[in-house]
Amino acid sequence: MAKILVADDEQLIRKLIGDCLKKEGHTVLEAEDGEKAIELFKNNKDLSLALLDIMMPEIDGWQVCKTIRETSGIPVILVSARSQDFDQIMGFESGADDYVTKPFSLAVLMRRIDTLLKRGASPVKAVTENDDEYNIDGIRVLKSAHEVFINGERVELTLKEFKILCKLCSHPGRVYTRDKLLDELWGIDYTGDLRTVDSHVARLRTKLGDWGTKYIKTVYGTGYKLSRTDD
pLDDT by residue for the chain (231 residues), tens digit each? 899 999 999 999 999 999 999 999 999 999 999 999 999 999 998 899 999 999 898 899 989 988 888 778 788 999 887 666 666 677 777 778 888 888 888 999 999 999 888 876 655 544 444 567 888 888 889 988 899 998 888 999 999 999 999 999 888 888 888 888 888 888 866 666 778 889 999 999 999 999 999 899 998 888 899 986 544
Q: How many whole angstroms separate alpha carbon 167 and alpha carbon 157?
A: 14
Which amino acid, residue 65?
Answer: C
Name all domains of the chain by residue range, CATH numbers in brackets.
3-119 (3.40.50.2300), 133-226 (1.10.10.10)
DSSP states of the chain as a string? Answer: --EEEEE-S-HHHHHHHHHHHHHTT-EEEEESSHHHHHHHHHH-TT--EEEEESS-SSS-HHHHHHHHHTT----EEEEES---HHHHHHHHHTT-SEEEESS--HHHHHHHHHHHHHH----S--B-TTSSEEEETTEEEETTTTEEEETTEEE---HHHHHHHHHHHHSTT--EEHHHHHHHHH-TT----THHHHHHHHHHHHHTHHHHHHHEEEETTTEEEE-SS--
